[in-house]
Copies of this chain bind each other. A is one copy, B any other.
Amino acid sequence: MATRILVWGENHHDVHDARTREIYPETMHGTIAGALAAQLGADARVDTATLDQPEHGLTEERLADTDVLYWWGHVQHHAVDDAIVERVHRHVLSGMGLVVLHSGHFSKIFIRLMGTTCALRWRSDRDREVVWTVDPAHPLAQGVPQPFIIDEQEMYGEFFDVPRPDELVFVSGFSGGEVFRSGMTYRRGLGRVFYFSPGDQDFPVYHHPAVQRVLANAASWAAPDRPRELPRLAMYLPGEFDVPREWTGEPQ
């Protein structure tokens, strides 16, 4: 069954910045969606949604029909409705995969899932980023050159204030001397979360074949392998010595 992918974009630079429009004439989310569709072919169904749509394009029905949600946001994080954030949060905890891109580190949904400030260092000055795989057998690294080089990119540097990741897959070095944990995974509830920092509105990073490969790998990795279910609220269990064998309702 095809993985149901939804690429969400705030669609701001895509409309208002000449530079972004030139680099991404099909918008950033459109470019990412196109790359995923090209790489995954019949294994995926790829759609897009944007901030300006009703309910930001993230209705209950839409999310229930999504296996993996990609999230791009930068200067409009504040404009995302809190109720929609709670809805996305619930779907992640219920098993929907989430791929948070670059400046999405400051999105409401990522901060909600991490519980920290998600702050980092930055400098947009055409640094070269070299991305190294530090977990070479990880599915996210399959087919990814070691290393791959992004000629021009915004620098993101440590300390990145997030919880210790479940898995650290990529680490980047920048020509300015900085380093960054650029690919990290987290399980939250029944959902898989992947943060991947390469990508920017000012540079053509989403056209980079290795970046596209990682994003395609993420679809397979983050997709749930069973029906979605919210982890149960505190559940009373009867007090007999033998554990009831009929317990079957646990999320699996």
- A interface with B by C-beta (< 8 Å): 93, 95, 106, 112-117, 119-123, 125-128, 130, 132-137, 139, 141-147, 149, 155, 157-161, 163-164, 166-168, 171-179, 181, 186-192, 224-226, 230-243, 245, 247-248, 250-252
Q: Is the CB of B134 within 8 A of A237?
A: no
Classify the secondary structure of A's interface with B.
Answer: loop
Q: What residues of chain B lie closer than 8 Å to A155, measured between beta carbons? A: 237
Chain B nearest CB from A72 CB (Å) reads 17
Contacting pair A116 B158 (CB below 8 A): no
In the bound complex, what is the Cα–Cα distance between A237 and B158 (angstroms)? 11
With a cutoff of 8 Å between Cβ atoms, the chain B residues found around residue A145 in the complex are 247-248, 250, 252
Do B134 and A160 touch (CB < 8 A)? Answer: yes
Q: A136-B159, A137-B187, A187-B137 are in contact. Are A115 and B117 (CB under 8 A)?
A: no
Contact of A119 among B106, B231, B237 (CB under 8 A): B231
Checking B116, B121, B137 against A192 with a beta-carbon cut-off of 8 angstroms, the contacting residue is: B137
Per assembly, the copies of the chain total: 4
Q: In the complex the two chains form, is A149's CB within 8 Å of B116's CB? A: no
- In the complex where A114-B115, A136-B190, A136-B252 touch, is A241 in contact with B146 (Cβ < 8 A)? no
> Given the complex, which residues of B lie within 8 Å of A174, measured CB to CB?
173
CB distance from A131 to the nearest CB of B (A): 9
Q: Which B residue sits closest to A245, measured CB to CB?
A: B149
B175 near A181 with CB under 8 A, answer no
Residue of B93, B149, B248 near A243 (CB, 8 A) is: B149
Assuming the A-B contacts A116-B189, A225-B139, are A144 and B233 also in contact, with contact meaning beta carbons closer than 8 angstroms in the complex? Answer: no
Partner of A175, one of B95, B172, B190, B241: B241
A233 and B160 CA atoms in complex are apart in Å by: 10
